[in-house]
Amino acid sequence: MAARLLLQGIGETALKSDQRATPRRVAETWTADIVSGYRADPARILGKTIPSSGHDMVVVRDIPFTSVCVHHLLPFQGTAHVAYVPGARLVGLSKITRAVDALARRLQLQERLTRQVVDALASALRPLGAACTMDAEHLCMTLRGARKRGARVVTFAGTGVFRSSPGLRAEFLRLAGRGTSSRARR
């Protein structure tokens, strides 16, 4: 129903034969794909852990994500880089990518999304520190408003040792930056 109202609102008042199923397809696409993260629980995704015997930084880099801007309902997509310094627990690396995806597939602000990834890791693992940086292009900046194609938004959030140790934070950002800078040169 909402998709039909949207089509009418932009001037498509008489749906043509090839558009009759559009409202249903739009609703299915949004619930099954675009905002499917509302049905996912990051705590559950990150819940199965294993004991840790070390405290060296773990980095999962170049995690692609797509989200939707809560203000304009336009997509933004980019790359997340996530790190943590284990306390007593480790988590499977694919679980980190799944947690990023679950949180990204909601209506979001990039700043809030970055913080939510860190908070999910901190809550599930109780690490010595967790960090996330995201680099994304927002269609709300490229299709409307400023219309600056290629402009990127970079956000950072950290807890624990990533806040208290400038050296560790710099090392993480250096490792994360290597992924984005090599991609930008292509």
Express each pLDDT in 164-186 by its tens digit: 999 999 999 999 986 444 444 33
Average pLDDT over residues 83-105: 97
Average pLDDT over residues 106-111: 97
Residue 137 vs residues 70, 86, 159: alpha-carbon distances, Å: 15, 31, 25
The rounded mean pLDDT for the chain is 90
Verify that 87 and 137 share a domain, yes or no: yes
How many domains is the chain partitioned into structurally?
Answer: 2
Verify that 115 and 28 share a domain, yes or no: no
Domain region containing 62: 41-185
Verify that 46 and 89 share a domain, yes or no: yes
Q: Tell me, what's the pLDDT at 180?
A: 46
> The pTM is what?
0.88
Q: Tell me, what's the pLDDT at 54?
A: 87
Verify that 113 and 84 share a domain, yes or no: yes
**How many Cα neighbours within 13 Å face the side chain of 7?**
18
Q: Strand pairing of 75-85 and 129-138?
A: antiparallel
Verify that 83 and 145 share a domain, yes or no: yes
Confidence of residue 111 (pLDDT cuts 50, 70, 90): very high
> The tokens of 45 are what?
């995704």
| H or E element, residue 62 | strand 58-69
* Cβ 128 vs Cβ 87: under 8 Å: yes
